[in-house]
Structure 1
């Protein structure tokens, strides 16, 4: 599978659906009920973005009617402002090809890497990976929220384009074990001095990371993918992206190459 096309976008303000007072009140009550048993207190006016609205724009930007998609995977960590909607199913309806679709969540920042593994293993003719995160929750989640509402769409298929040459995920990695494991993985996947993008969470526990590594800022889930697309657009032949979820202790590393190796 090769990366045929990618799009990254930021989104301002709140979702269109929140303009409906009734919907906003219903969702606020639902979120409060879900948070209460865990000691979370919902407060303030409900705001934020809907992944359906965000991804709708991304799908239109990267998929043409002449390129029907067979598989659509939505990866996210923070829930959106329409938790009752089956967003992946909704997006399948909008996407050319009406593809098989599902979401991957509850894996923190490892979700996009897991989604990419699914895309590679599925064997679809064309597959669309959507990585999204919105920056507003009406309660304390106990984890840093994104700085902005952002989304990255990556269309994979046959033909010309950058190829995912390797992808590794390690579960239950203690912070102290991260530097050694990350250094080994990046060295093996890069094969030399190539652009390396790491998340803030990984940088925090990897003081000996490569000096030229770019640390993505403020976006726990979309950050490394945002910078990956920028590096490829800038002409990089090989890019390595790496992330660590310190709460769930997943270490994920992937290499994307636009040249045959």
Structure 2
């Protein structure tokens, strides 16, 4: 098992975190192209459309949801080198990559991309890739945007948790010569809870431990993708060791963020 991030190894540290929830919908949810896209997406699998949601224009664009929280989190105007948008529920603007639009809206000219189709593990993957990009020496400031919206415009092949409200969490990560975050991810472990307990022990008895529904957290989760990270946003200002962990049962992936 790799050791936790050492106190003297430079890395990325989460210096600012904010969580926001929203109601309403965006005009993009009434775009007729959404119906065309979703129809093409589900046709090979024989899944029916949610005509009620398409008709009423339910859902929200991630670009519009994240714009305000990003301005708030980056009010200092310092340039961003990397922006990653991660989500589970699909965006209502599938033909217009929200990550690129958000990248153009923040200070600097960051590399911007999105991560999806990884369930709740996508948030951890985003932070892991941010740390890896920082290690190349070309990134001193990264922003990870985690988003979820309430509308799935087709019937899923099996029950999936959907959020009660639209939500965004923004994590601002900056270079810290004294040490940084570490992300661990593993697939197919026999006992995910025991694995996470072992990781938590490496941070010491004073560490805060935050768990998602897959590891015994809130059931059913009101915000299945961002809820864990909203809890993390409350911990960041306290500057104490934190382990935030999740288990995606559909994919069999256990993930943990370790903040020394």
Matched, 1:127 2:127: no
Query: 1:250 maps to which residue?
Result: 253
CA distance in 2, matches of 1:163, 1:109: 26
What secondary structure sits across from 1:92 in the alignment?
helix
What secondary structure sits across from 1:158 in the alignment?
strand
Query: 2:47 maps to which residue?
Result: 40
Structure 1 unaligned residues grouped into runs of 5+: 204-213
Query: 1:226 maps to which residue?
Result: 230
Whether contact under 8 Å (1:199, 1:224) holds in the other structure is yes
Residues matched between the structures, number: 238
Matched, 1:55 2:74: no
What secondary structure sits across from 2:163 in the alignment?
coil
Structure 2 unaligned residues grouped into runs of 5+: 1-11
Q: 2:207 aligns with which of 171, 180, 194?
A: 194
Shift of 1:186: 2.1
Moved more, 193-202 or 89-98: 193-202
Query: 2:84 maps to which residue?
Result: 73
CA distance in 1, matches of 2:65, 2:179: 26
Matched, 1:14 2:25: yes
TM-score relative to the length of structure 2: 0.84
Whether contact under 8 Å (1:3, 1:163) holds in the other structure is no
Matched, 1:148 2:169: no
CA distance in 2, matches of 1:179, 1:116: 21
Q: 1:185 aligns with which of 196, 199, 206?
A: 199
Whether contact under 8 Å (1:73, 1:130) holds in the other structure is yes
Whether contact under 8 Å (1:71, 1:128) holds in the other structure is yes
User: Cα–Cα, structure 1 residues 8 and 145, in superposed 2: closer, same or farther, change >3 Å?
Assistant: same
User: Cα–Cα, structure 1 residues 101 and 183, in superposed 2: closer, same or farther, change >3 Å?
Assistant: same
CA distance in 1, matches of 2:112, 2:181: 24
Shift of 1:184: 1.5
